Structure formats: C-alpha cells, structure tokens
Amino acid sequence: MDHKSIYIAAAESRAGCLIISIGFMEMLKGLYEKVAFFRPIVPDGDEIDNDIDFMLKHFNLNMSHDECSGFTISEYTEAYGSNTEDKLHESLIRKVRKLHKKYDFVLIEGYPHTVFSSVFDFDINLEIAKNLNTVFVPIIKARGKSSNKIVNEILLTREMIREEGCTHLATFINRANEDIVENIRTRINAKKINEQIYILPEVKELNNPTLDQITKLLKAQMIMGNQEQLQHIVYGNKIAAMGVENYLSHIDNGDIVIVPGDRVDIIIISLLSFYAKNHTNIIGIILSGGIALSPAIMNLLEDFSETPVPIFTVESDSYQTAITLEKVPANITVQSIRKITLAKGLFSAAIDKEKITEQFMSSSNSTLTPIMFQYKLFEQAQSMRQKIVLPESDDERILRASDILIRRGIVDIVLLGDRKVIENQCLKMGLDTSKAEIINPEESPLTEKFSQRFYEMRKEKGLMLDVARDAMTHVNYFATMMVQEGLADGMVSGATHTTADTVRPALQIIKTKADISIVSSIFFMCLDTKVLVYGDCAVNMDPTAEQLAQIAVSSADTAKEFGIEPKVALLSYSTGASGTGPEVEKVREATKLAQAMRPDYLIEGPIQYDAAIDEKVAKKKLPNSKVAGKATVFIFPDLNTGNNTYKAVQRSTGALAIGPVLQGLRLPVNDLSRGCLVDDIVNTVAITAIQAQQGKEK
C-alpha cells in the first residue's frame, strides 16, 4: 500500500472539496519537501480547472497544468461506454507514478460523483483510488441535511469504500449547521463508528463572492476605491429604486447596491451611512446604465479623506445587473486572501493532525524547507496557545497580521490603542479582529498600577514616580509590563519603533536570564532544503570573547527549542590553528568558554564559513571535526560580519530570513524591522509564542 498519496472526493457538488484540499496541502507541505497536486478528472473545454489553477499559484507548485490533470469528463464517459476504461486507468497510473518519482507526496482531488450519476451507478472516484493504490478521504456535504441523514451517508460511504477495497483514511463532513454538530457527534458515537470523522461548520463568508469576483463578471469599472476593497465579501445585493428613507431601511450590512448613475442622493446617503454610528454599512455601489457621475459630484466625492465604499460603473441596466449577480460563483481564488486564511483555520481546528498523519507517514524526513519550517512554527504555536501583545495597533500591517493569527488560531492577541479607532480601521480594511483583546493605556487602570510597579523596581537607580508614569504612556513600556505581570505571554514590536525602543523596556523591566548577561539575536535562514541559525546579526556590535560565548550558547539553545539539532560553528577568517591575530584569538577564547559552559553541545571554532557548511572543504581543513561541514548554528564575530552575511545570503539565494529573534531575556520580547511584511509579523509572533511555551515548560 502506497501511503504517499491521498485521494479526496465529494459525493456532491459544492461540498467544499477545495477547502479540504487546501487544508491537506498546507499540512503536507509542512511534512514533505515536494508535494504534487493531481486531478484525474477535469471539466470539458479549454478553460483551466479552477482548483488546479489555485493550487499551482497559491502553493507555488513547480508543476504544469498538464501534469496536474488526467482526463476530461467526456473522455471518461466515452471510455466506459466503449469498454476501454482499463486503458484509461493504465494511463492514469502511469501519470501518477511519474509524479511519485518526482515528488514526495501526491494529493489527488476527485470530481463530484453527481457529475456521473446518470451514467454510472457506482462512485468512479473509488475505482480510480483503488487502481492508484491510495488512501481515500470522502467528503459529505451536510448543508440542509438532518443529523440522521448525515450519519446514514457516513455509514453508506464507509460500506462503499470497504466493498471497493480502498483504504479509508478519514471522513470529512463539511458545511454543517452549527446547531446540529453535537447531535451528529452523538449519533456517530451511538453507531460506534471508529473511523476518523471531522466536522467543519458552514461559514457564510466562504459561500459568498468577493467584490473582485462580482466586478470581473460584470466587467465593471472602478471609479472610486482601492484594490484592497475588492477582497471584501458580498453578502447580498439590492436595487435602489425607492426614495432615500425607504432605501436606508431596506439595505443590510454587506450588501452591494445597484443604482442608476443619476441617483446622486443614494450615493451620498450610502457614504453618510457608513460614517454614522449604528447604521448599515454596504460593501459597494454599482452605477447601472452606463451613466457617468458629473464632474461636480466626482469632485465632491474625491474630497472625502478616503473612499469607504467603492463605486463601480456598468453598461447594463439595474435589472440585468441584478440577474447577472445571482450567477456569480463564490469560488476560492488566489486573490481570496481572507477566504484562504479562513479555510485553513477551519481545517486546522477540525482535525487531529497527529492521528491523521500517523496513518500515511511511514518514514522520517530530514529535509526542512521554508514552507515546512513555517508550518511547524504554526503547528507548535497552536499546540499550547499563548497570548501575545502587539502595541503598534496604528500600523495596518499589525492589524492584517492579527486578522491572520486570530483566524488561524495560532495565538490570542492583545492590541493596545483606542477601541473605536482600531475597530473602524479594521472595518475599512475588511478585517475581523473582534476576538482580539483591546486595551487603551490612556484609559486603563493598569497604567497607574504599572507605573507604581516600575517605580518600585527602579527607584534605587534614581527613578522618580512621575518619570515612571511618563514611561507607561509609551506603548512599548506598557506592553512590556503586561508580559512582566503575566497578563501577556510575550510581546512583539518594532514595525514603527526602533530596536532600542523595543529592547530598552525589556532590559529595564524583564531583564536577562539568570545565567545570561547579554541579550542577543538570531535569524532563521530558511534555505531550499534546510534551516540554519545565524547569530548575532542585529544587536551586539563587537562582543567580547565572554559575550560571544554566551551568544553561541543562547543560539544553540534557541535552535534546539525549534527542532534544529545544534552543531555550533564560531566563525572567523581562520580555521583551527591555522591563523593568528586578535580577532581569531577572541573567537578561539569564546569557543573554549562556550564548550566549558555547555559540554553537551557540539561546538567548533575558530572556523571559516566554507569549512563549516561544506563537507568537502571540511575534510581538508578540519577532517576530525564533528561540526565542520555539518554546522547548523553559525556565530559571527561581530555585527558588521553577521548583518552583511545574512543579507548577502538572503538576497543571493532567495532564502527566507525569519528574525531577528531576541534571546537571553527572562520572558519573550521580539523586535520587528520597520520594513517588515505582514508574513514577517505572523512568523515573529508564532516564534514568540513558542519561546513562551518553552519558558513555561522549563
């Protein structure tokens, strides 16, 4: 049995097959270096299959569309009609075997059984799965069904899989109404069904189109608004043919409004409604009939500081436009960032990853790609969820990262700032941070408590109470004190603040670990097939031998915490005893001190970079070393060398550099670069959560 592939198939259309495929693909990319996607059945015609197109682009699969596809619906029907299906299956087996030679795992997605129900009285997907010798995962669409009917379908599907001789990995029940989920579980237990069964709830957002999908189908032209608004979800549509008063009572949140282009009153009142408290917020306005707004009205609208409701024009009339809107599919596309995040979160929350992976994982894999490393970060962070405070809520990147972190259930988030300002900003950006805890230091009773606490901590150093109060008005000091007082497990800052603004409060309040006198940093350098640790590339300019030894030990500890076996190389321009000079001697002394501090670690130095990473060079320069050629932790002698090297490797090889990650503090605080991307913030928050977990375990 080849458990290096999974076959996913739904019995009905719109069962959410792509959602399950997205979840599996992300999980598999975290376990294997190279994963292929394959659909044995694709639609007729020349159009690219939506699911294949999505998988290729979103997961950046190095595959052609032809590699991912088998045969069309018509080709299947014709083959079974002429009794030549055996040849068809042989061709499929050859295609999938070719994929197995190139890839570590193949994720296969079937076509809904209902497409063939008029021709075949059995599930063609099961026959394909059997011939491909793969495990089978059925998806049952639960929408609109009673719990009794759903359980009967589970039993029927299980029997079909058993009769066909396929290996049943798990069953997914998708789009289940929240109010019957527990009833389904009760009936499953009563029937003593032993297979893994995972239930995903119906989520309205996944079943509605985005503005982008709607406007593309309508061939609408945006005359006001921005590209980010195109990702907002449209929950309904209304034709505004009545007066203003009746119009306001008929629209709902999330509606797109179709209105003739000369109804300026409706346009103005829609914008006013958005800014008014306790009024409906529509998602967009479509001006029908090809009627353009007058220059005077355009000038008026452009005087708004921003356009909260995007405006589009179409040539069709209101009635034709409304009819077309009903035909817009709610497909998940590569541009559907929020839908993708939500789908991943639903899958992750529903499944037992350990249980499901142990059935198709037969061997360990030493390869660690950037995607695998990030996946492991998220998985580890989710295993014991921590609360992370983000003080820079005024930065859009922080809010976008918070939305992702919350939706995926990676951490619990605390945002510092004015609740109304944060909520309005999130509303404009189409984000959901409702599950985040929001604290305004200007109004919180914690501010005075923290001021008194800070004063007590540092009054012997001459700190005055007024100065302590002034310090707590700075969000980084407030956030750091939250970590110190156990109200948050870690802090991430630096998107709008300097490194000093982040580190100084941590040194004054949290302080370093008992056996560490220096705060340092590392970068996780994610290369094509492995992850290396570089330190210190961000904090200490010219460490002494004693400090360098502590950096080496801290970096080794950090590597171990994140599943990287520490083999430490203290770098220099000389290897072994071949060179002399003050810089070499500093590294040589630091190596001795580090080895004495942690004799359980493999530590080598001084050593040149090529001897540390290349086994061929290592055999010539340090043939008896257990680190040379196999190093995983690289310690640079000074900031100049470290910072330049990590950037050179990052830019020259396309490596993903995650960091800087601060180490040596008693409690986790991490710094962002002011040029950070949203993904950088998400990664850093996950790392901070893992550091908090490790600290609690110790």
Written as six digits, the tokens of 489 are 């497990």
Displacement of CA 570 from its chain's centroid (Å): 34
Q: Quickly state the pLDDT bin for 600 (edges 50, 70, 90).
A: very high
Indicate if the pLDDT at residue 156 is higher than 50: yes
* Burial class for 192, CB neighbours closer than 10 Å (0-12, 13-18, 19+): exposed
What CA–CA distance (Å, rounded) separates 645 from 681?
22
5-204 maps to which CATH number? 3.40.50.300
Higher pLDDT, 301 or 318: 318
pLDDT at 118: 47
Indicate if the pLDDT at residue 447 is higher than 90: yes
DSSP code of residue 279: -
Query: How many CB atoms are closer than 10 A to CB 379?
Result: 17
pLDDT at 121: 47
* Burial class for 275, CB neighbours closer than 10 Å (0-12, 13-18, 19+): exposed
Q: Which residues contact 218 (CB under 8 A, 6 or more apart)?
A: 286, 312, 314, 316, 321, 324, 325
**CATH number, domain 375-511+675-684, options 3.40.50.1580, 3.40.50.10950, 3.40.50.720, 3.40.50.2300:** 3.40.50.10950
Cα Rg for the chain, rounded, in angstroms? 29
What CA–CA distance (Å, rounded) separates 135 from 358?
13
The whole-chain average pLDDT of the chain stands at 88
**Under a CB-based contact definition with an 8 Å cutoff, are residues 312 and 221 in contact?**
yes
Question: What residue spans define the domains of the chain?
Answer: 5-204, 211-325, 375-511+675-684, 514-664
pLDDT at 116: 57
Q: Which region among 20-34, 186-200, 564-578 has the lowest average model confidence (pLDDT)?
A: 186-200
pLDDT at 114: 61
DSSP code of residue 581: S
What CA–CA distance (Å, rounded) separates 225 from 310?
4
pLDDT at 307: 72
Q: Quickly state the pLDDT bin for 654 (edges 50, 70, 90).
A: confident
Q: Quickly state the pLDDT bin for 548 (edges 50, 70, 90).
A: very high
* Burial class for 76, CB neighbours closer than 10 Å (0-12, 13-18, 19+): buried
Q: Do domains 211-325 and 375-511+675-684 have the same CATH topology?
A: no
Residues 164-173 have a mean pLDDT of 87
**Ranges 217-221, 241-245, 302-306, 467-471, most confident:** 467-471
Higher pLDDT, 371 or 535: 535
pLDDT at 363: 42
**Distance set, CA 284 to CA 220, 277, 299, 375 (Å):** 12, 18, 19, 36
Q: Quickly state the pLDDT bin for 242 (edges 50, 70, 90).
A: confident
Query: Which tens digits make up the pLDDT trace of 201-237?
Result: 988 888 888 888 888 888 888 888 888 888 888 888 8
Q: Quickly state the pLDDT bin for 396 (edges 50, 70, 90).
A: very high
Higher pLDDT, 634 or 81: 634
**Under a CB-based contact definition with an 8 Å cutoff, are residues 495 and 396 in contact?**
no
pLDDT at 223: 85
Indicate if the pLDDT at residue 362 is higher than 60: no
**Under a CB-based contact definition with an 8 Å cutoff, are residues 642 and 636 in contact?**
yes
pTM for this one? 0.77
Residues 330-351 have a mean pLDDT of 86
What backbone torsions phi and psi does residue 623 show, to the nearest 5 degrees? -65, -25
Written as six digits, the tokens of 635 are 């310690």
Superfamily name with CATH number, domain 514-664: Isocitrate/Isopropylmalate dehydrogenase-like (3.40.50.10750)
List 663's β-bridge partners, or say none: 520
Express as a percent the part of the chain with pLDDT over 90: 47
pLDDT at 267: 79
**Distance set, CA 452 to CA 249, 288, 469 (Å):** 52, 62, 8
* Helix 318-325 / helix 211-218 crossing angle, nearest 10 deg: 130
- Is CATH 3.10.290.10 what the domain over 211-325 is classified as, yes or no? no
Residues 234-258 have a mean pLDDT of 82
Higher pLDDT, 698 or 58: 58
* Burial class for 568, CB neighbours closer than 10 Å (0-12, 13-18, 19+): buried
Higher pLDDT, 305 or 530: 530
